[in-house]
Structure 1
Amino acid sequence: MPSGRRAREKTFFGHPRGLATLFGTEMWERFSWYGLRAILATFMAASPATGGLGLTEQTAQAIIGIYGALIYLVALPGGWIADRILGARRAVLWGGFVIMCGHISMAIPAETGAFVALGLLLIIAGTGLLKPNISTMVGKLYPQDDDARRDAGFSIFYLGINIGAFIAPIVVGWLAQDDRWHLGFGAAAVGMALGLVQYVLGRRHLMGVGERPGHRLTPRERRHFTLTLVVAAVVAGGALAVWVASGTFALDTFALVMTLLIVAVPVLYFGYILLGSHNLTDDERSRMKAYVWLFAAAAIFWMVYDLAPTVLLFFAQHNTDLSLFGLRITPATTQAFNPLFIMIFVPVFAALWVRLGNRVTAPHKFSVGLFVNGLSFMVMALAATLAQSGKISVWWLVLVYLVQVFGELALSPVGLSVTTKLAPEAFKSQMLGLWFLSFSVGDAVGGQTGRLKNHMSEPAYFLTLASISVVASLVLLAFSGRLHAMMREHRAPSATPPT
């Protein structure tokens, strides 16, 4: 684009106007996602007499773990569908519409969980279309060589995510109190609707980004894809129907089976990369072996960290005095602590990593993230011990979320960076999807940790998970030198392919 024309166009804080469109869409989508997440567990565990589903807290934790895992898992096919069939722009539009339909289904009061199951499935499918592709569109708003403005643009976009995540638990939690669950779910639907309206009205500012698929399927490939999709849906649906008809179906067992399947995905994928040829160089193969350990560390991190909308939410509901600065808050409002602290401390950690430079490597940062995450659950173990004598101050949870955010900012942004850095040339476009699989594995396994409560007290439960995270941190620290060597960062720049 000619520089004169670019200068005459209106901007969004000095960035393309299309960023405002995507910023608003993502903010409202995150409002709907975090609003639902803030009340979903307590709704599932609430008595049917109060409009809930009447599940045990353990079952609710397992189901929400699978729900969170699938949200990240479907980002892989969602990106593929945009690239080969819809294009990113239509994928985001249809994804947002399907998400809105999912929240509407959740908002329908019904005595069975059918509308809830349908709503969650629609939200999973819609998020798979919207989430990966809206980020892709942000990157494409900028010229290829404009890295500095692109990085700044993503920082603004990230702010939109956290604004939505901060506001949603407060608003939805307030609307859903006194068992008005479906009013809260309806607010999430309204949020996604606002995001869609804003996206449609602002589409002219996107400058053609994402209009067409990057590698459109040929007619033959389209027929093959359609046939494969139909067969897979029939097989999966048939197997589930047979299981239900047998009378042996149970939600806890279903969640366990899904967890095993989700864990198998990255195992098979890493095997495919490392055991196949793919023309990988020795350096690329060595980097991938190092990445396997970082992936496992990240999965353990998310296993603990993503228990916020279940275990920590239940703790807030049952064991804390929900008074903050003299004001009564809802259990859901405690879910707003995390995004608030993220917005405050992101600039601090960004400056810290720049200042430390290469003296602290990715394995070191992962180790710090795991250790701090474990520390947060040591605090929870102490809080749970005190809560055995009566309700404790909600400030204990504030402290836990503050400590956890330090762990997230040590690991999560670094994970994105190291993923792109270690990716083999043949798999560069797929590796970010692989990184998000660590979230899937962590969420699914974390959902299963509720089974431990059948055999131990709540303080022991928190201490067990804290110990797993801390031990993983120490193991990673002990082998950080070896991992650093496997990442081939000790060689001269000329010996390393450009990234």
Structure 2
Amino acid sequence: MPNNLQQNDQAFFGHPKPLKSLFFTELWERFSYYGIRPLLILYMAALVSEGGLGLDRPSASATVGLFAGSMYLMTILGGWVADNWLGQAKSVWYGSIIIALGHLSIALTALFSPFFFYFGLVLIVIGSGLFKTCISVIVGTLYSAQDSRRDAGFSIFYMGINLGSFIAPLLTGFLIKDYGWHIGFGIGGIGMLIALVIFRWIAVPQLEHTNTLNGQANTWNSAVNDNPNAPKWVMLFLSIVAVIVGLTATGVIQVNPIAVVTYLTISICIIVASYFSYLYFFTHLESIDKKKILICLVLFVAAALFWAAFEQKPTSFNLFAQDFTDRHVLGFEVPAVWFQSANPLFIIIFAPVAAWLWVKLGKRNKDPSYISKFIIALLLAAAGFLVMTFASYSVLNHPNSLVSPMWLISTLLLMTLGEICLSPVGLSTMTKLAPTIMRGQIMGLWFTASALGNLMAGLIGGHVSASEIANLPTLFLRCVIALLIGAIVLFLLRKPILKLVNDCHEQKAG
């Protein structure tokens, strides 16, 4: 039986053998991404004489937000391509190749023109859209629905994400100090090459062997739907992207990153509001499902607000580390991007503690509701920005000295604890609340909250500079106020939402 075969496959910490190769594939892919992400704003804002692009900081920050936000939006298209044409495994493979080419293009910027930098970002966005969703789906196929190891397997896989995220800034930050920006970008490309080799020549054969034993379809050639029109739509999309890139490269189209991010943010807000309205009013859902849709909308807004704060790590926090933080330890200057490793390190340390705590409280029937955990996340993020407000006052009061790195580290700890309360809890809750017939659509909307948060963070993060130092406390304090308002609104809605949930359970039981 398939279930018995899956249970008997315990080659990797009691889990199926392919999990090991998928673990290292994801580790190196995340290494490549988090190796270059913190470098982006520093490179774009650096003077041309320093090897950078010489952009103003608001434009550089907006570009980083557009890059990360587009990546999350592209996962929706990437999932569709996998389901309707390539299948999960081929999507990961081709996505890996495209990402690696993106890194190569960025590394070539030093030899050619800045066009290769932006073209590389476009390639990484497209490749990640194929890679990001599909590899998680493949991990899920290792377990049957009844396999008790599923959650633990994803926890192990998640650890690979954080290990790659932790190691990458440490290595790239060290290399760019002595060897320049493009060595840092190139190392990310090497990480991606390692990932695609592991996946194609280790993971895929293991997956095919496992599926053969389980009587399942061949991993490499299987797609959920075989849509004959899918290649045409993909080619049309790529043609449009190519035309836009070409017109931009030749100067026919002048791109203002701040304007693009602003209009895209407004457009996403309008589209999401319209889509939730469509789901509620025009899909003929039952009363119980309409109530769930309303709850999903509230959680979406709260998540977007949190990510708008959290995703300032590679922008405003990164710039604060570079300009205003004392990074000298025993005569060694700590690279600014090393602070980006604090978040994954804290995840590795505290995520198991949080999981243990929720289980222990659950046994006592004291586990906080998911609404309470969202409120805690927003309050922790607000506390983090309050710390940054005090740090910026310290900068103003001592203009000729740098502030302690503990300000940033404390903020990153608070933000990470907030992430632990919101991210896995939100993902789990949305899968439970989403009506069965539109679960994929709701999950796509959930990831759109991350895209929206990245875009908003890009608009905020570029205002950290010596020329705008007087505005720093106000900038961070506005974030505190926005997060507190979000937490208060959620607190006021907590009882009505929990009542809606109870009504849903009663209707379902009835």
Identity of aligned residues (%): 36
Is the contact between residue 262 and residue 444 of structure 1 (CA under 8 Å) also seen in structure 2?
no
Give a deviation string over 1:413-460, Cα, whole Å, max 9, x none: 111011111101211123222111100111111211247777961111
Return the offset for 1:387.
Answer: 1.9
CA distance in 1, matches of 2:375, 2:4: 48
Q: State the one-letter code of the partner of 1:482.
A: P
Residue matched to 1:262: 268
Is the contact between residue 58 and residue 463 of structure 2 (CA under 8 Å) also seen in structure 1?
no
Does residue 305 of the first structure (1) align with residue 314 of the second (2)? no
**Residue 245 of structure 1, aligned match among 248, 252, 262:** 252
CA distance in 1, matches of 2:461, 2:68: 15
Residue matched to 1:478: 492
Structure 1: where are the runs of 5+ without partners?
none
Residue matched to 1:211: 220
Residue matched to 1:376: 384
SS at match of 1:410: helix
Residue matched to 1:95: 95
Normalization by structure 1: what TM-score? 0.92
CA distance in 2, matches of 1:10, 1:290: 39
Return the offset for 1:333.
Answer: 0.5
SS at match of 1:372: helix
Q: Is the alpha carbon distance of 1:451 and 1:7 closer, same or farther for their aligned partners in structure 2, counting shifts above 3 Å?
A: closer
CA distance in 1, matches of 2:249, 2:173: 38
Give a deviation string over 1:318-359, Cα, whole Å, max 9, x none: 011113577531001110000000000001111222233364
Normalization by structure 2: what TM-score? 0.90
Is the contact between residue 32 and residue 189 of structure 1 (CA under 8 Å) also seen in structure 2?
yes
Is the contact between residue 38 and residue 333 of structure 1 (CA under 8 Å) also seen in structure 2?
no
Residues matched between the structures, number:
491
Q: State the one-letter code of the partner of 2:507.
A: A
Residue matched to 2:194: 194
Residue matched to 1:397: 408
Q: State the one-letter code of the partner of 2:335.
A: T
Does residue 427 of the first structure (1) align with residue 433 of the second (2)? no
Return the offset for 1:376.
Answer: 0.1
Q: State the one-letter code of the partner of 1:205.
A: Q
Residue matched to 1:24: 24
State the Cα RMSD in Å.
2.6
Q: Is the alpha carbon distance of 1:421 and 1:441 closer, same or farther for their aligned partners in structure 2, counting shifts above 3 Å?
A: same
Give a deviation string over 1:236-269, Cα, whole Å, max 9, x none: 669x6699537x6433223323333333342232
Q: State the one-letter code of the partner of 2:493.
A: F
Equivalence map 1:94-493=2 (5 Å): 94-108=94-108, 109-110=110-111, 112-146=113-147, 148-178=148-178, 180-202=180-202, 203-206=204-207, 207-208=210-211, 210-219=219-228, 221-222=229-230, 225=233, 229=237, 233=241, 245=252, 249-277=255-283, 279-324=284-329, 327-357=332-362, 359=366, 360-388=368-396, 389=398, 390-450=401-461, 457-486=471-500, 488-490=501-503, 493=505
SS at match of 1:433: helix
Give a deviation string over 1:106-164, Cα, whole Å, max 9, x none: 11114632011110000000000001000000010112210x21111101000000000
Structure 2: where are the runs of 5+ without partners?
212-217
Residue matched to 2:74: 74
Residue matched to 2:215: none
Q: State the one-letter code of the partner of 1:276.
A: F
CA distance in 1, matches of 2:509, 2:224: 26
CA distance in 2, matches of 1:471, 1:4: 51
